[in-house]
Structures are given as structure tokens and as C-alpha cells.
Amino acid sequence: MTTSDRLIEATRELLWERGYVGTSPKAIQQQAGAGQGSMYHHFAGKPDLALAAIRRTAEELRGAAGQALDGPGSAYERIAGYLLREREVLRGCPVGRLTMDPDVIASDELRAPVDETIAWLRDRLASIVQEGLDRGEFDRPLVPADIAASVVATVQGGYVLARASGSTDAFDAAVRGLLALLAPRTDTA
């Protein structure tokens, strides 16, 4: 791994653990095993390095989400695959957590990859719901953009509830509840 990559990876971890304010250049250098000169040789400063780290984290999240959402199966199965995929629930979402960081939100440049990732996810989910509607997979009318927003809100809210309680139970319950609401009805009569 190059020094630049080590710095980016260290920053990604620290942003996830501590947020932007809690991530000092010294902590980044220590975690990366790189000196101050190396850091400033590769990056203009902390904001530049943080932007590279946020972009990489966003790309990774889109890749992981895309694997579930672009896989085989019905619209419901693909959404379920996304909701049930393995996550580090108690750590929270490495992208979503950045929305609670005032310095990230105050910076158009740092916020952009966060906004783009959330918009991508909502658009992708909405298109999957629309595909399901077009194929007659859902037995009731759904508004794709509303369902997409609900899925994202369930995941992000589930992270918050899980972190607050110190247990994944709240996250799991939110996912089960949303899937029960989305599941095609089965009439046994």
C-alpha cells in the first residue's frame, strides 16, 4: 500500500470513529505510519485528505449496496438483500454518520460525496421499486421515491437506534418491520 493509500485508509477509519473534528492530522499520521512531510506531500491539508477518504468510502458503500441491489431476484428480494446484507451496525454508516458532522455539512466540497451517495442510493432503490411495479410484483400501488426514502431512513435510523441501545436488535426490528410492510400479500382464503 502506498503512503497516499495508507493516509486515506487511516483517515477513513478515523472519520468513522471520531468524525471530522475529532480527526487530527497527527492522529492520521500516527495511524498511517506516515510523517507530516509525507502527508503534506500527497495532500494540501486535512480537508483535501478528508475529501479523498470520504470519496473512497462513498465508492465502497455504492459498490456494496450495488452488489445486493443489482443481483438476481424480484424487486422485493433485491431490496431485502440490501436491507439484510452484513453491516457493522453498531459502528453506524460510515457515510451517514458524516451528515451529523457540522464541519462536513458546512463544507460544500466535503458534503458533495455524501449527498451524491445518498441520492444514488435513493434513485437506485426507486428504480427497483418501479421495476417491481412494472412487472406486477407488488400487489398495491407504491410511490417509488417514497419507498426509497423509507428504505434509506430505516437503515440510517436503525443505525442510530442500535448505537443508542448498544444492540443490533433495534436495527434488525426496523428492517423486519419494513420488509413486512413491503412483502407481497398472500391470501390463504
Take residue 77 and report the three cell numbers written for it.
Answer: 428480494
**Amino acid occupying residue 60:** E
CB 94 within 8 A of CB 15: yes
Domain harbouring 103, CATH code? 1.10.357.10
Query: Does residue 84 lie in a domain region?
Result: yes
Flag whether 33 is in a domain: no
Domain count, the chain: 1
66 domain-assigned: yes
Asked whether residue 140 is domain-assigned, the answer is yes
Question: For residue 156, what are the domain limits?
Answer: 55-182
In a domain, 2, yes or no: no
- Mean of the pLDDT values across residues 105-112? 95
Q: Is residue 9 part of a domain?
A: no
- pLDDT tens per residue across span 158-189: 999 999 999 999 999 999 999 999 998 765 45
Q: Taking all residues of the chain, what is their mean pLDDT, rounded to a whole number?
A: 94
The verdict on residue 20 lying in a domain is: no
